[in-house]
Amino acid sequence: MKKHSFSLLNIVFYLINLIACILLLLSYLANFISPDSFTFLAYCGIIYPYLLSANVFFVLYWALQRKRYVFYSLISILIGFTFIPRLYPFNNKQELTNDTALFKVLSYNVHVFGMYEPDNHNKDSIFDYIAMQQPDIICLQEYFQDHKNHLHDKVMQNILQTKHQYLEIDGINQKIGLAVFSKYPIINQGILAFTDSSNNKAVFTDLCLKNDTIRIYNIHFQSIYFDKEDYLFTSKFTKTDLDLKSEEMQTGSKRILKKLKKGYIYRSEQVKHIVNHIKSSPYPVVVCGDFNDIPWSYTYHQIHKLLSDAFVSSGKGFGNTLFINNKFPFRIDYIFYDKTFFNTSGFTVDKTAFSDHRPVYTYFSIKDKNQE
């Protein structure tokens, strides 16, 4: 009797294992195929960490039983082995040097300094945090000004002791957009507007670093625009009495999937614009920003084909920068760089709670031109 029950369990696990393998393989394709062509792959990309975990479980499960089924998940994992460091990089601890060429880049979605939240004190906390970090170059997304807070840029200049800035903010009484502050001179700047979005955009600044010129991109790709109703709905997924067949669950799921699809398609077009601009850059490139997309997405991969991810190169642990309802983790804030020109070290995701995003920063040095 026990033997029959055990065999039945293995049959069920075998079927689940096949589904997990197929979905994991499909999640790899999300990197290469535009969601405009096949959105389902993008949905698979979202759950890549869970699919990977499931297949690791099945490798251990079948290995303990010495079943040949172990190779299903093992081969599926090995096919996409290069994607694993995007989730958890395998880097040794790197000591920072006193190299005079070392400079610090910080990227931070400041969430309009929390201006729409009651009893908000985030603005001062964010300024204090930046003053403590003292980056040489800082890229801010969702930068905010209004008639009561029009001196934010002056505060930033005083904090960083610099006059070099580029603000690209839109609005009349309340202005929101992108901001770049640099301790290095800005010799050129420009905006890359997205035709399909009025709220999301990118900017570039060319900075003079002694004898070198580099180009910094500050990007805010298409947002998903979850509202209060969506956040309340996603919070239900942690409840044990979840009813997947209820009308509320079906309606909410369709609404969420529709918003995700819209965001995927918009970003797939926006990233093409950025990629073409990067390819035409006369200078070595660093890309910062809030991508609103995960490391196993078409958007991420298009940038990654050209540049290296600083988190993968010198980060440690899980690099999640956004938590939906403080429960569901995602890494959507990035710093990319030209590895032929820069070395990077000490990539950090700071666990501050002053915005809905966590700030990320890393240290760069320019490679020795005589280095082979």
Q: What is the pLDDT of residues 234-267, one digit of tens each?
A: 666 666 556 666 777 778 888 888 989 999 999 9
What is the model's pTM? 0.91
Q: How remote is the C-alpha of 327 from its chain's centroid?
A: 17
pLDDT beyond 80 at 196: no
Mean pLDDT of all residues belonging to the chain: 89
Mean pLDDT of 354-368: 93
pLDDT in tens, 312-329: 999 999 999 999 877 889
pLDDT in tens, 7-49: 888 999 999 999 999 999 999 999 999 999 999 999 999 999 9
CATH number among 3.60.10.10, 1.10.230.10, 3.40.50.1980, 3.40.109.10, domain 104-226+262-366: 3.60.10.10
| Amino acid (one-letter) located at 225 | Y
Query: Given this model, what pLDDT does residue 248 score?
Result: 72
Decide: 331 and 83 in contact? Cβ < 8 Å: no
Q: How confident is the model at residue 4 (pLDDT cuts 50, 70, 90)?
A: very low
Query: Which residues pair with residue 189 across a beta bridge?
Result: 205
pLDDT beyond 70 at 93: no
Which has the closest alpha carbon to 255: 231, 290, 221?
A: 231
pLDDT beyond 50 at 221: yes
pLDDT in tens, 285-294: 999 999 999 9
Structure tokens at 112: 């309009």
Sign of the alpha-carbon dihedral angle for 295, 51, 320, 344: negative
Q: How confident is the model at residue 118 (pLDDT cuts 50, 70, 90)?
A: low
pLDDT in tens, 158-190: 999 999 999 999 887 788 999 999 999 999 999
Query: Given this model, what pLDDT does residue 113 score?
Result: 87
Q: How confident is the model at residue 120 (pLDDT cuts 50, 70, 90)?
A: low
Decide: 201 and 274 in contact? Cβ < 8 Å: no
pLDDT beyond 90 at 211: no
Mean pLDDT of 50-68: 95
Coil, helix or strand at residue 181: strand
